[in-house]
Every structure is written in C-alpha cells, then in structure tokens.
C-alpha cells in the first residue's frame, strides 16, 4: 500500500460568497494606499541614503578630477584615491562573489529584505508611486481617475505624472552614464543640445529603461523577470524571518465594533479591513501565506499595526516571524546554514581586503622580439625585448629597471624611468649573455622594476633568453 502524503486544509471557501480577488490576482493596475510606520520610515531613510550616494558621488571631485569615474575609453577606473586597471578585474569578480554571498546570508536570515528596502527596482518604484500620489491623488482618487473619461483634468494630471516620471528617469540615466563619462561636460552637452553618439544613445536607453521598469512594469519585474524571486525559496528554512500573518491569532476574521466582545463571537484579531492588501506594492494578500510575489517590504506590517492601534489590540498580527514561530515554536537565530554563510562571507571579505591592500601599484609586461637572437659588435649574444610599464598610482613615480640577481646576463637600456600619474610607457631593451656558455637554451630571464621612493613596491616579469648551441 502506497504511503499517503499528508495534506492540511488552509481555508474553506464558501461558494455562496462572492470571490474577492486581490489586485495581483485581478491583473489590473495596483493602486497602493498611503500609510505610515516604523518600517516605512526605515525604508525612507535607507532609500534617502542610497539616493544621496548614487546622485551625489558622481559630482564629487578628487585631486582635480571626478572622484568616481570608470573611464572605459582609457581603461582606467578611478575610485577616489585608487586607480584600477583591467589587470585588477579579478578584484571586481571577487567583489561580486562577496555581494552574492552577502545576499545569500541576508536571505537565510531575513528573507527578501534586500528587495523591499535596497533593490533599485523597489526604490525607484516607490519614488514613482509617490509621484503618482502627488499628481493624481490618493488611492481612491486614482481608481476614480482610471474609470473617468478623458478630459482636460485627467489629461493634465496624467501629463504631469508622466512628465515627472520622465524627468526622474532622465536624471537617473544622466547620473548613471556620468560614472563612465565625465558628468559635468556630459550634462552641459545634454542640456545644451550638443550631445550625440554613444553617450546620447545610452542616456536615452537608460531613461527609457527606468521609465518602463519603475513606471509601467513595477511588480512584474519582481515577480516575472527577477531570477532572485525564483531561487530565494531554496535558501529559506523554518527559522528564516519573513513577513508572516499570525493565523492562529487572526482567524476567524471579520468586522466588529471596537468595544465588542469579539472573542465571544468566535472572531480573531483580524477585522478583515484589507488594508494590508491595499498598501502592498505587489497587490497580494499576505494572509494567504508566503508567496513568491512578496518582496518583504513590511508595508502590510505598518498598515496592520496602525489598525491594531485603533482597535486597541496588540501589535504584531502581521510581523517578521519564522515558520517555526508561527507553528508555536521558537526561532533559532544561530543555525548551521546561517553560521556557515556568515563565516564564509567574513573570510572572503578578509581575503578581499588583504588582496586590495597588497595589490601592486606598478605593472610590468614583457614581450620578446620576434627575432630569436643576434650577435652584437663585441661578439656577444643578445635578445631584444619590449617592456610595458604602467604607473597605477595617481602621482608621478620614478622606477629603477634591472635584471634579477644571479643570472648570467646584463641589461642594455634605460635603468631609471620617470612615469607620470597613470602613464603607460613602452621601453625597448636588450639582454646580453655575458657569462658563457649557457647551460641550456632557452633560459629564463627575469626583469624587475623597483619604486625608488618605496623599495617595497616592486614588480617582476619573466621571459626567455635564446642562444645558439654551445654559447
């Protein structure tokens, strides 16, 4: 006899009652209701800080240039006092891995709080929703405006909304492109009507992307387009803190008078006001349980707490809680998976900090001449090389070029090299075989550059030396 899978009845639907669909289920536009609360304030402060960093950093100067600038044309990437080159892209890969593990760690601990508080899609969507409220009014006014026929009033409100949306989108695109092209001349050319080429294309592209994603697609990006929404459930466990409805306390739900003995009537704390649905940016009913559409923004928590305050009930009917807690147990904050992610993250951050501090600020590459070898006027065998030296610092430097000690060669070429900040210098040199015979050919040869101001700053590059047999 096959084993049966246990099933639990969550809700019994009375066919005599009309089916009430959430905005998400109905498929229409989602008009959110205004609300206030501690999580909303936290999100506003966080979004304000992110906006300040994003829009403000692009306009900062550092030593006479833009403080943060990824100059793709010259392959130089400035971040305040540090300059990075394509050779340093391994650090970027490491940083992206660290960010991924950080996201995993946060998700195991508290679900999709990244989506609700810090994701650019969510942050810009909240801004666009605020613009919508300013231009078209509160939720009931926007619903009424949607149903109203087109006229001067509706055209004016809609025009103002879309005009502000486009203004925010344009400023966002200008700032983003300004991290790759100096933003001050970029802004002057854009608003002076002189901008053209690739810069104009990318500004128009990101303006359209911001306008569509935050203005029109909104929650559809989070639900259907974002891969994180799909694999987040794999990282959840029974102790993950998620936005949860306490069904044991809230059911059965229903309206009642504030001063009534609702417990005697068989009612729970939920008065079925649906305010939690009306404030949700993805239009779901959190009382139906955890859903892929939930971005963990806690808007429903703030809304429900305000209703509980009005009714004189205890807060927390909707709260951040774990599945284990909702089943009557205790949440275990320290657990193997979370500790493992945290330890791995700490180790990676430490390794990244060490690699960043230890990275060489001088680059040396060696390319051997296509000729095998030649004999000079003194009858000595020599090989020709082309050295490529890069000063990765933002100050002029003086370097000394030499061969690594203990080799049967001598260097013919400039010994001291002066490089300006960020300069790339190509130097032809010759290496002469001075102690014959050579044990074997080809033989390794090593070049070394040393910063004369700081002997600890050095770089070694290897190549080969070719000599005829018996030499």
Residue for token pair 């010759």? 430
- How does the average pLDDT of the chain come out, rounded? 90
* 289 vs 300: CA distance, rounded Å: 13
Q: What is the pLDDT of residues 325-367, one digit of tens each?
A: 999 999 998 899 999 999 999 999 999 999 998 888 899 999 9
Number of domains composing the chain: 2
Which of 182, 202, 217 is at the close of a domain? Answer: 217
Specify the CATH number for the domain of residue 383.
2.60.40.10
Out of 217, 247, 278, a domain closes at: 217
Residue with tokens 């899978």: 5
Long-range contacts of 395-399 (CB under 8 A, 24+ apart): 395/421, 396/420, 396/421, 397/362, 397/451, 397/453, 398/451, 398/452, 398/453, 399/362, 399/449, 399/450, 399/451, 399/452
Residue 392 CA: distances (Å) to CA of 61, 153, 388 = 19, 59, 13
Alpha-carbon Rg of the chain, whole angstroms? 32
CA distance 443 to 404: 14
**Per-residue model confidence as pLDDT tens digits over 77-114:** 999 988 898 888 899 899 999 999 999 999 999 999 99
* Pairing outcome for strands 61-62 and 82-84: unpaired
Q: What domain range includes position 411? A: 362-465
pTM: predicted TM-score of the whole model, two decimal places? 0.85
Q: pLDDT per position in the chain (471 positions), as tens?
A: 445 545 444 455 555 555 566 666 666 789 999 999 999 999 999 999 999 999 999 999 998 889 999 988 888 899 998 889 888 889 989 999 999 999 999 999 999 999 999 999 999 999 999 999 999 999 999 999 999 999 999 999 999 999 999 999 999 999 999 999 999 999 999 999 999 999 999 999 999 999 999 999 999 999 889 888 878 778 899 999 999 999 999 999 999 998 889 999 999 999 999 999 999 999 999 999 988 899 999 999 999 999 999 999 999 999 999 999 999 999 998 899 999 999 999 999 999 999 998 888 899 999 998 878 898 988 899 999 999 999 998 889 999 999 997 678 999 988 899 999 889 999 999 999 988 778 788 889 999 999 998 888 899 999 999 988 776
Cβ distance 123 to 254 under 8 Å? Answer: no
Query: Final residue of a domain: which of 201, 217, 233?
Result: 217
Within-domain flag for 344: no
């Amino acid at each position: 006899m096959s084993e049966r899978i246990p099933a639990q009845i969550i809700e019994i639907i009375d066919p005599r009652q009309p089916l009430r669909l959430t905005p998400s289920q109905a498929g229409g536009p989602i008009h959110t209701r205004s609300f206030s609360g501690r999580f909303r304030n936290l999100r506003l402060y966080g979004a304000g800080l992110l906006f300040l960093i994003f829009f403000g950093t692009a306009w900062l100067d550092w030593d006479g240039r833009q403080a943060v600038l990824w100059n793709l044309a010259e392959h130089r990437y400035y971040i305040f006092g540090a300059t990075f080159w394509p050779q340093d892209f391994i650090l970027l890969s490491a940083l992206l891995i660290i960010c991924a593990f950080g996201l995993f760690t946060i998700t195991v601990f508290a679900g999709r709080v990244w989506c609700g508080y810090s994701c650019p899609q969510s942050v810009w969507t909240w801004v666009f929703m605020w613009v919508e409220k300013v231009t078209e009014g509160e939720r009931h006014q926007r619903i009424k405006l949607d149903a109203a026929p087109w006229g001067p009033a509706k055209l004016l409100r809609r025009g103002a909304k879309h005009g502000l949306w486009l203004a925010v989108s344009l400023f966002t695109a200008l700032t983003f492109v300004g991290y790759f092209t100096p933003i001050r001349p970029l802004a002057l050319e854009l608003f002076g009507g002189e901008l053209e080429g690739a810069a104009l294309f990318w500004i128009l592209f990101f303006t359209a992307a911001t306008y569509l994603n935050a203005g029109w697609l909104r929650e559809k990006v989070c639900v259907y387009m974002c891969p994180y929404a799909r694999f987040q459930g794999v990282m959840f466990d029974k102790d993950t803190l998620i936005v949860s409805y306490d069904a044991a306390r809230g059911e059965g739900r229903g309206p009642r008078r504030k001063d009534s003995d609702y417990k005697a009537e068989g009612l729970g704390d939920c008065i079925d006001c649906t305010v939690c649905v009306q404030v949700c940016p993805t239009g779901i009913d959190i009382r139906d349980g955890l859903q892929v559409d939930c971005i963990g923004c806690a808007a429903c928590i703030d809304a429900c707490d305000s209703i509980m305050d009005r009714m004189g009930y205890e807060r927390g009917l909707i709260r951040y809680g774990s599945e284990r807690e909702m089943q009557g147990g205790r949440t275990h904050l320290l657990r193997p998976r979370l500790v493992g992610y945290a330890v791995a993250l700490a180790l990676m951050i430490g390794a990244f900090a060490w690699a960043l501090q230890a990275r060489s600020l001088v680059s040396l590459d060696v390319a051997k001449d296509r000729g095998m070898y030649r004999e000079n006027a003194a009858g000595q065998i020599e090989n020709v090389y082309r050295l490529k030296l890069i000063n990765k610092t933002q100050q002029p430097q003086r370097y000394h070029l030499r061969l690594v000690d203990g080799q049967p060669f001598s260097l013919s070429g400039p010994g001291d090299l002066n490089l300006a900040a960020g300069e790339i210098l190509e130097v032809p040199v010759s290496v002469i075989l001075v102690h014959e015979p050579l044990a074997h050919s080809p033989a390794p040869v090593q070049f070394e550059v040393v910063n004369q101001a700081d002997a600890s700053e050095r770089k070694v590059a290897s190549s080969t030396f070719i000599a005829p047999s018996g030499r």
